[in-house]
Amino acid sequence: MSETNYSSSYKRTSFYKQIEKKSLTPLWEVMQDLVLPKPSSPCIPKIWKYDDIRKDILEAGDIISTEEAESRVLILDNPGLPGTSRITRSLYAGMQLILPGETARNHRHTQTALRFVLEGSSAYTTVDGERTTMKRGDLVITPSWGWHEHGNDGDHPTIWLDGLDIPLVQFLDASFAEPYEDNTNPPLPKADGDSIARYGSGLAPVDNPSNTLTSPIFNYSYSETRDALEKMKRNDKWDACHGLKMKYANPLTGDYAMPTIAAFIQLLPSGFMGQKYRSTDSTVFVCVEGEGKTIVNDLEINWTKNDTFVIPSWVQHSHNSYNSDAVIFSFSDRAIQQKCGLWRENRYGN
Ligand code: 1HN
């Protein structure tokens, strides 16, 4: 190092020390880590095979009750974000088990939640006083600050995947949560099926006092969803990247069903070989039916029924089904990214 360089480097280091005490940092030293030319997520691609983690969640059923645990959940921790309870930077995912006869206490929080049912048909969720049965493939959503509780009246375990915007709410320091107490004003009880009758039949109340941020439909039943895909399949041309992909929509606005989390269902016809795709929303996928693989650079993620896998932001990938139609559920933070004008995608490896 020349003398001038040495002395300017020395001057800078001592300057940085001097200002550090005053909680000041020079931007020019950190700029390249703050404003990236393109996304570079610490989140890494990863699959959780259902057969494998099903054993673990059932074992958790032996060691802790819902009484003690409140929610008996094994968190899907992205190995690139260890110990942070995140499957992507902005989203949390966990596998929840509720055994016959169990209940999980009523509570509410500002985090928005979705449940995608993987196994069982006898559990229920009650959201703001309306109860719905949770069947395999159903998407059940819980709005921010909505009261919710779960139970299982049947004789088989029910297992679902939870997705919540916990890291996002944590980042914004906007978390509130409370248990339902005996002195809490109860939400007005509603008849089972009320929300579907009121909002899911091509009808809407004339005077609509409801908050439209989150869809008033809180169970998107798989039998309806699957039937719709099967009918659409006869007419629609396949998208080169996605097959036939639909979003779960709020019927009052046409927007995503939740304000922060976007949820999708897609059908890949038998033998589909998808083109390369990437987007800025790191996405969690669940195989509902069929089997196939997702190619991510040099990695092949082989998936079958109930497997969960994650693809990070801006990572090229392509979906392939084997020799039957495949159905894939997915969720991401696309809903909030699009509201902020941040979301981007590109296709075909461009
Ligand atoms: C929650 O309320 C549930 O109600 C599940 O089933 C998982 C993780 C963190 C915070 C709240 C539930 C959750 C959660």
Q: What is the pLDDT of residues 143-187, one digit of tens each?
A: 999 999 999 999 999 999 999 999 999 999 999 999 999 888 888
Nearest CA to ligand 1 atom 3: 71
Interatomic CA distance for residues 317 and 251, integer angstroms:
31
pLDDT for the residue 312: 98
164: Cβ below 6 Å to ligand 1?
A: yes
Q: Residue 203: pLDDT above 80?
A: yes
71: Cβ below 6 Å to ligand 1?
A: yes
Q: Structure tokens of 116?
A: 């995608």
Q: What is the pLDDT of residues 206-239, one digit of tens each?
A: 987 678 999 999 999 999 999 999 999 998 789 9
Nearest-5° angle of CA 128, CA 57, CA 304? 95
pLDDT for the residue 137: 98
- Ligand 1: distance of its center to the CA of 208 in Å? 29
Q: What is the pLDDT of residues 256-305, one digit of tens each?
A: 999 999 999 999 999 999 999 999 999 999 999 999 999 999 899 999 99
Nearest CA to ligand 1 atom 13: 71
Interatomic CA distance for residues 346 and 350, integer angstroms:
6
Q: Residue 1: pLDDT above 60?
A: no
Average pLDDT, the chain: 95
pLDDT for the residue 321: 98
Q: What is the mean pLDDT of residues 90-119?
A: 97
> Where residue 40 falls among pLDDT bands split at 50, 70, 90?
very high
Q: Structure tokens of 227?
A: 């039937």
pLDDT for the residue 7: 81
- Ligand 1: distance of its center to the CA of 71 in Å? 6
Q: Residue 6: pLDDT above 80?
A: no
Interatomic CA distance for residues 166 and 227, integer angstroms:
32
pLDDT for the residue 187: 84
Nearest CA to ligand 1 atom 1: 71
> Where residue 245 falls among pLDDT bands split at 50, 70, 90?
very high
Q: Structure tokens of 327?
A: 């159905």
pLDDT for the residue 226: 98
Nearest CA to ligand 1 atom 12: 71
Nearest partner of 327 among 285, 299, 274, 284, judged by Cα = 285
Report how far apart, in Å, the C-alpha atoms of 161 and of each of 164, 321, 331 are: 10, 22, 11
Q: Structure tokens of 290?
A: 């069929």
Cβ atoms of 79 and 42 closer than 8 Å: no
94: Cβ below 6 Å to ligand 1?
A: yes
